[in-house]
Amino acid sequence: MFAMTENDDHQLRVSKIQNGTVIDHVRAGQALNVLAILGIDGSEGEEVSVGMNVPSDRFARKDIVKVEDRELSQDEVDVLSLIAPDATINIVREYDVVEKHRVDRPEVVEGVLSCPNAGCITTDDEPVTSRFEVLDDGVRCAYCGTIVREGIASLIDT
């Protein structure tokens, strides 16, 4: 459904989506992590278009993710902001952008990440919801203090 077309500048462009979400200005190399956050692995039949390492006016290079027939929840946007703090979320309806906003990094995320510390109370059989404080360069578990700077996408609860 997402036809690639060539314009006069000889740059490839992905065609517009009819309805859904476009996640733009994702740091180059993070598109696959965005898909992981959204739980998109190709098994559900969702129509997705990904542009990786494409030229950008704001950055030297960026990634773009387009998801047909899906609008992101605030929880998804909050987690997305951890790996794509400069992203822009565009909601598309009938081929028109009806809503556009930049992600805001929350101060805290709850119940969306697993603590990698095997000794943390959240990894026991206790009914404790994970809670992470958002740092400039990562997240910190509110219970055990473990700081995670890399691989945040791998900690997402599914």
pLDDT at 158: 58
Give domain limits for the chain.
Answer: 4-102, 108-155
> What residues form the annotated binding site?
115, 120, 141, 144
Q: Please tell me if the domain spanning 4-102 has the same topology as the one spanning 108-155.
A: no
> What residues form the annotated binding site for Zn(2+)?
115, 120, 141, 144
4-102: which CATH number, 3.30.470.20, 1.10.3720.10, 3.40.630.30, 3.30.70.140?
3.30.70.140
Q: Does domain 108-155 have CATH number 2.30.30.20?
A: yes
**Three-state SS string across 5-26, please?**
EECCCCCEEECCCCCEEEEEEE
Cβ–Cβ under 8 Å, residues 146 and 104: no
pLDDT at 21: 94
And the tokens for 110? 């709850």
pLDDT digits (tens, 9 = 90+) for 57-104: 887 899 999 999 999 888 888 888 888 888 999 999 999 999 999 999
